Amino acid sequence: MSVTRKPIDISPAAARQFVAELQAYHAQYDTNRRDEIAVRARHLLLEHMPKGSKLRLSEVKELDRLKTKK
């Protein structure tokens, strides 16, 4: 079951950083390092979400899977 959320307002610089994190995620084969990269991406997104918002690590990884399907 997917969760529908309202779009977040993210600066172009933060969006570029998020994309760079996703590219680093794909370049890495070590699962522990991939998790570290996903955590950094999660923190980046949380900075631009309303206070009290929750974002699971699995949701960040799902964003990555959606990106790669296109």
Residue 37's CB is within 10 A of a number of other CB atoms, namely: 22
Band of pLDDT at residue 46, cut at 50, 70 and 90 = confident
pTM value surpassing 0.75: no
DSSP symbols for 9-63: ---HHHHHHHHHHHHHHHH---HHHHHHHHHHHHHHHHTTSPTT----HHHHHHH
24 has a pLDDT exceeding 70: yes
**What does the CA dihedral 48, 54, 60, 65 come to, rounded to 10 degrees?**
-110
48 has a pLDDT exceeding 60: yes
> Domain coordinates of the chain in residue numbers?
12-69
**Within 13 Å and on the Cβ side, how many CA atoms surround 6?**
5
pLDDT value at residue 64:
65
Q: Average pLDDT over the chain, rounded to whole?
A: 80
- Mean pLDDT, residues 12-16 taken together: 86
49 has a pLDDT exceeding 90: no
